[in-house]
C-alpha cells in the first residue's frame, strides 16, 4: 500500500492495438470452459485494456450467443470497458467503510478538480476514473487502486500527488 511519501513504480502502458488473430486465439483457448463468456471477456480486456466492439461478434460466434447477449454482458458489468482506458486507471472505492471515512467527498473533489465523471477519461487520455466496490482495504479507508497498486488512507492532497506523480 502507498503511504504519504510513496511513489508508484508502475509506468503507464498504452492499450495495445486491436489484433483479430490474437483475440481469436484467446477466445479459442477459453471457449471450452463451462461458463466461458466471463473468462473470455476478462482475458480480452486484460490483453487489450478494454473489450473492443470488434471482439463481440467473434465471442458470440464462438459461444453460440447473440451479439446482443455478449454486448449486454460487456455493458452490464462495471469491470468491463467498452472503450479504451486512459494511460492510467484510478479505481476509487465506494463501499461502505470507505464512504464512512470520506470517500464520497474525496471522489467528488477529485472529479471536480480534474474535470472527470465516473468512467470518464481526461481530455489528454492520461487518466480514467472508475468506481470499485470494496478493495478489502477497509481498515485503511478511503482506498483506491492506481494502475493496480493499492492506495490507502487517502485525502485530497495525497490522492492528487500520487496521481500527478504517476502521470509525470
Assigned fold of 88-167: Glutaredoxin (3.40.30)
What pLDDT, on a 0 to 100 scale, did the predictor assign at position 11? 46
pLDDT tens string 64-91:
999 999 999 999 998 899 889 999 999 9
Local confidence band at 15 (pLDDT 50, 70, 90 cut-offs) = low
Q: Is 98 annotated as a binding residue?
A: yes
pLDDT tens string 106-147:
999 999 999 999 999 999 999 999 999 999 999 999 999 999
Q: Is 140 annotated as a binding residue?
A: no
Q: Are 100 and 30 in contact (CB under 8 A)?
A: no
Global confidence as pTM: 0.79
Q: Where are the domains of the chain?
A: 1-83, 88-167
CA-based R_g, the chain, Å: 17
3-class state of residue 34 by DSSP: coil
Q: Are 128 and 89 in contact (CB under 8 A)?
A: yes
Q: Is 138 annotated as a binding residue?
A: yes
Give the homologous superfamily in CATH for domain 1-83.
NADH-quinone oxidoreductase subunit E (1.10.10.1590)
Amino acid at each position: 500500500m502507498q503511504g504519504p511519501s510513496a511513489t508508484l513504480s508502475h509506468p503507464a502502458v498504452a492499450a495495445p492495438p486491436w489484433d483479430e488473430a490474437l483475440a481469436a486465439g484467446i477466445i479459442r483457448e477459453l471457449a471450452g470452459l463451462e461458463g466461458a463468456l466471463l473468462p473470455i471477456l476478462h482475458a480480452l480486456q486484460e490483453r487489450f485494456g478494454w473489450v473492443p466492439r470488434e471482439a463481440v461478434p467473434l465471442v458470440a460466434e464462438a459461444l453460440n450467443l447473440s451479439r446482443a447477449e455478449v454486448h449486454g454482458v460487456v455493458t452490464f458489468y462495471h469491470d468491463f470497458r467498452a472503450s479504451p482506458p486512459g494511460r492510467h486507471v484510478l479505481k476509487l472505492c465506494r463501499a461502505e467503510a470507505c464512504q464512512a471515512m470520506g470517500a464520497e467527498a474525496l471522489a467528488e473533489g477529485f472529479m471536480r478538480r480534474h474535470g472527470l465523471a465516473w468512467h470518464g477519461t481526461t481530455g489528454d487520455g492520461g487518466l480514467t476514473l472508475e468506481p470499485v466496490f470494496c478493495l478489502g482495504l477497509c481498515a485503511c479507508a478511503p482506498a483506491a487502486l492506481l494502475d493496480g497498486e493499492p492506495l490507502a488512507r487517502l485525502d485530497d492532497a495525497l490522492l492528487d500527488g500520487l496521481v500527478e506523480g504517476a502521470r509525470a
